[in-house]
A and B are shown apart, each in its own frame.
Chain A
Amino acid sequence: MTISIRSVEKKFGRYPALNSVNLEIADGELVALLGPSGSGKTTLLRTIAGLEFPDAGQVLFEGQDVTFASAAARRVGFVFQQYALFKHMTVARNIAFGLDVRKGKDKPPKAEIARRVDELLKLVELEGLGKRYPSQLSGGQRQRVALSRALAVQPSVLLLDEPFGALDATVRKSLRKELRRVHDATGVTTIFVTHDQEEALELADRVAILNAGRIEQIGTPHEVHDNPATPFVCGFVGEANRFEGTVSGGRFTSGPVILPAPDAAGGAALAFVRPHDLVLDAEGFAAKVERVVIQGPLANVDASLPDGRRIEICAARDEAAKFSSDIRLSARRAHVFAA
C-alpha cells in the first residue's frame, strides 16, 4: 500500500498541529515519524489512520483519495499509545474484535476467526494466553496483544503511536526487534511515531523528522544522521556541539573555534559538530579536559573552551589517556547552516 500525504494542514483551535505536510510512503516500507512532543507526529499518524480529519490537503492510499474516509474503510491497523485494549474482554476476544464486528458474508466463520487468533498469538509469541484478561498481562505482553489485534484485520497499513513508550528499557529493546521481525514477516506497510531517536534510527527504513508541524527531513537513518538538512535535525538526531559564529572564506569561526565549512555561504552561521568528529590535533583550538568517562569501548570527554563554553568529545577508549588536561582539537567535519 503506497500512501501519499499532500499539503495536509490541521489546526487545533489556533494552534497549528500540521503545517503543509507532504510525505510519500512506498509499499512495504517501515517509516518512523520522529519529533519532540508537540511536533505534530501523532496528529499526522492519526490523520493517516482516519482518526483525525485535516483542515486542508489530501491523504491518498494507492492513489485514491481517502482524506475523509473512516478508519474502518481505510482498513488500517492502529496500535494505541496505551494500547487501548478492551479491559472487559479476553486477549482472544480483543484480537478477534475486528473480525467479530464484520457483518454478513464479510464475517469469517467462528472456526476461521479462532484459527486466525491462534496464528496471531503465535506470531507475537503469546501462545496460550488467549483466555487471559489484559489486566493479567505485563506491559510488554499487552503491547503484543495490541499489535496482533491491529494485524488481525489484515490491515493495508499498520500504524503505531509511540508503541514502546510505556515500557521499560529492556522490554523496549526486545519488542523493537520483534516489530521489525513482524514487519518483515507480513510485509505490511508500517508507520510508527516515536520521540526516541535511537528507536527510529534502529528500526525504520526511513525516518521523517517533524518539528512544529512541519517535516524537516525525510531520509534513511544514515542520511538524517550524517547529512542533516536543517539545524533542528542536526540538534535533534544524534549528539552535537553547537556553535554560533560567522563563515568567511570556507571557514566557520566562533571565538577560538575554527571549523571547516567548504560549501557554506558567508555570513552569520550555526555550526554543529558531532562529538566523535572532534579529534586531537596539535594545530587545533585549545580546550581544557574536565572529566573523562569510560563507557564500554568509548571514552566520553567533557571539556571547556578558554571562554567557558562546554563541549563534548567522543573518542575510542584506547585514546582516553591522551585526554590528560590541556588539549588541542580540530573537527573532522562540521554541519554549518546559515543563521
Chain B
Amino acid sequence: MLDDDHPMTAETISAPPRAPRRPLFRRRSAIPGFGLTLGVTLTILSLIVLIPLSAVAIKAFSQSPAQFLAAAFSERAVAAYRLTFGAAFVAAVINGVFGVLTTWALVRYQFPGKAVVNALVDLPFALPTAVAGIALATLYAPNGWVGQYLTPLGIKAAYNPVGVTIALIFIGLPFVVRTLEPVMRDLSEDVEEAAASLGAGRFATIARIILPALGPAWLTGFALAFARGVGEYGSVIFIAGNMPYKSEIAPLLIIIQLEQFEYANAAGIALVMLGVSFLMLLVINAIQAWSRRFV
C-alpha cells in the first residue's frame, strides 16, 4: 500500500480487488481475445479453404476406383503430368543455378542499378501471370524479339516444352532468390575469414564452407519454385502451344475437362496435383526442420 505521507498517494487505493468468479474455462492467457480470434480464424479457414478443398477428394472418389484411375492416369493426363513436373523440375534447376548467382551478386557486390535489380527480382510476384504469358510468348515465338535469333540456330523456344520451361523460370526465380537471401546475408564473414586463415583458397572456401551452409535454404527455394511451377497456369498457356500429349500442362487439362462438364475427371486430375502439392509441402517442412539442426 502506498504511504499516506507521499504526495502521490493523495487518493489511496479505495476499492480492494473484487473476488472474481472462477472462469468457466481455465484461463490460459492474460491477453484477451483468444477464443474470439481463434474461432474466427478456424471458421474462415474451414469455409474458404478446407471444406472446398475436400470437395476435390469427394468428387474424385464419387466414381469407381477404376474410373478414377482411368481419368486421373489416362494417357493424355500422364503426358500432361510428365510435361508439368518435368518442366517445373528443369526450371527449378535453372533457377537454382542462377538464383544462387543472383543472390550472391545482390548480397555481396556493389554495382550500378543494384537497387533496381533487387526490386525487379520480385516482378514475378507482382506481375499478373497472364501479362507475363503474353509477353514471353511475344518474345520467344519463332518470329519474336528473341525467337527470331534462335530459329536459325534450330532452337524452338515457344509452343513446345521449352516454352513451358521458360515461363516457369520466370515464375520461380524469386522463390529461390528470396529464400537464399536472408541465409546468405546471415552467413558470418568470420567463418570465411577462419577458413582463409586456415589456408583455404577462395574456391575451397566457397565449395566447402559457403555452399554447404546454403544447402537447406537452396533446397527449400528449389522446392518452392518447383511447387509453384507445377500449379502455374496463366504464364504458361500463352507460350505452351497446348498440344495434347505434347505441350499440354496438367492445370490446362483440368480446365478442358471442366469445359466438357467432366467434373469427376477434372477432380481426379486435381487430386493428383493436390497430392503432389502436399508432398512438396511435407518435403519443404522436413527440409526446414532438418536445417534447424544447424542453428
A and B in direct contact, judged by CB atoms within 8 A:
yes
Contact B8 A154 (CB under 8 A): yes
Among the 9-residue stretches A66-74, A307-315, A326-334, the one with 4 or more Cβ atoms under 8 Å from chain B is A66-74
Chain B residues contacting A185 (CB-CB under 8 Å) are 3, 6
Contact A186 B19 (CB under 8 A): no
At the interface, yes or no: A262 with Cβ under 8 Å from chain B? Answer: no
B24 CB, nearest partner CB in chain A, Å? 11
Residue in A27, A61, A68, A74 whose CB lies within 8 Å of B23: A68
- Please give me the residue from chain A that is nearest to B3 by CB atom: A187
B27 CB, nearest partner CB in chain A, Å? 4
Chain B stretch 269-285: residues in CB contact (< 8 A) with chain A: none
At the interface, yes or no: B2 with Cβ under 8 Å from chain A? Answer: yes
Cα-based distance from A119 to B28 in the complex (angstroms): 37
Chain B stretch 4-28: residues in CB contact (< 8 A) with chain A: 6-9, 11-13, 16-23, 26-28
Chain A residues contacting B9 (CB-CB under 8 Å) are 154, 186
Interface of B is mostly: loop
Residue in A61, A65, A71, A119 whose CB lies within 8 Å of B30: A71
At the interface, yes or no: B1 with Cβ under 8 Å from chain A? Answer: yes
Contact B17 A186 (CB under 8 A): no
Contact A53 B26 (CB under 8 A): yes
Q: A186 with B8: in contact, given A27-B1, A50-B30, A51-B30 (CB under 8 Å)?
A: yes
Contact B1 A119 (CB under 8 A): no
Contact A69 B20 (CB under 8 A): yes
Q: A61 with B2: in contact, given A68-B23, A120-B8, A154-B8 (CB under 8 Å)?
A: no
Chain A stretch 163-205: residues in CB contact (< 8 A) with chain B: 185-189
Contact A119 B16 (CB under 8 A): no
Chain A residues contacting B22 (CB-CB under 8 Å) are 67-68
Q: A119 with B7: in contact, given A51-B30, A53-B27, A74-B17 (CB under 8 Å)?
A: yes
| A34-58 near B? 1/0 per residue, CB < 8 Å | 0000000000001001111101000
At the interface, yes or no: A248 with Cβ under 8 Å from chain B? Answer: no
Cα-based distance from A295 to B272 in the complex (angstroms): 75
- Please give me the residue from chain A that is nearest to B7 by CB atom: A119
Contact B1 A188 (CB under 8 A): yes
Chain A residues contacting B18 (CB-CB under 8 Å) are 64, 69, 73
Residue in B11, B17, B21, B30 whose CB lies within 8 Å of A154: B11
Contact A64 B2 (CB under 8 A): no
A177 CB, nearest partner CB in chain B, Å? 18
Number of inter-chain CB pairs below 8 Å = 76
Q: A1 with B1: in contact, given A69-B17, A120-B8, A154-B9 (CB under 8 Å)?
A: yes
Cα-based distance from A55 to B27 in the complex (angstroms): 9
A84 CB, nearest partner CB in chain B, Å? 12
Cα-based distance from A65 to B20 in the complex (angstroms): 7
- Please give me the residue from chain B that is nearest to A53 by CB atom: B27
- Please give me the residue from chain A that is nearest to B28 by CB atom: A53
Chain A stretch 260-316: residues in CB contact (< 8 A) with chain B: none
- Please give me the residue from chain A that is nearest to B26 by CB atom: A53
A159 CB, nearest partner CB in chain B, Å? 13
Cα-based distance from A74 to B20 in the complex (angstroms): 10
Chain B residues contacting A156 (CB-CB under 8 Å) are 1, 13, 16-17
Chain A residues contacting B21 (CB-CB under 8 Å) are 68
Contact B8 A119 (CB under 8 A): yes
Chain A residues contacting B28 (CB-CB under 8 Å) are 53
Residue in A1, A27, A66, A120 whose CB lies within 8 Å of B19: A66
At the interface, yes or no: A251 with Cβ under 8 Å from chain B? Answer: no
Cα-based distance from A121 to B8 in the complex (angstroms): 12
At the interface, yes or no: A242 with Cβ under 8 Å from chain B? Answer: no
Chain A residues contacting B30 (CB-CB under 8 Å) are 46, 49-53, 70-71
Cα-based distance from A68 to B30 in the complex (angstroms): 10
Cα-based distance from A151 to B7 in the complex (angstroms): 13
Cα-based distance from A75 to B13 in the complex (angstroms): 9
Chain A residues contacting B16 (CB-CB under 8 Å) are 61-62, 64, 156
Chain A residues contacting B27 (CB-CB under 8 Å) are 53, 68
Residue in B1, B6, B23 whose CB lies within 8 Å of A189: B1
A229 CB, nearest partner CB in chain B, Å? 30
Cα-based distance from A64 to B20 in the complex (angstroms): 9
At the interface, yes or no: A116 with Cβ under 8 Å from chain B? Answer: yes
A-B contact pairs, 28 of them (CB 8 A): A27-B1, A51-B30, A53-B27, A62-B16, A64-B17, A65-B19, A66-B19, A66-B20, A70-B20, A71-B30, A73-B17, A75-B17, A116-B8, A119-B7, A154-B11, A154-B12, A154-B13, A156-B1, A156-B13, A186-B3, A186-B6, A186-B8, A186-B9, A187-B1, A187-B2, A188-B1, A188-B2, A189-B1
Residues on B facing A (Cβ under 8 Å): 1-3, 6-9, 11-13, 16-23, 26-28, 30
Residues on A facing B (Cβ under 8 Å): 1, 27-28, 46, 49-53, 55, 61-62, 64-71, 73-75, 116, 119-120, 123, 151, 154, 156, 185-189
Knowing that A53-B27, A116-B8, A186-B3 touch, tell me 18 more A-B residue pairs with CB under 8 angstroms. Answer: A49-B30, A53-B26, A66-B17, A67-B20, A68-B22, A68-B23, A68-B27, A69-B17, A70-B20, A71-B30, A73-B20, A74-B17, A154-B9, A154-B12, A154-B13, A156-B1, A156-B13, A186-B6
- Shortest beta-carbon contacts, A-B, top 4: A187-B3, A53-B27, A51-B30, A69-B20
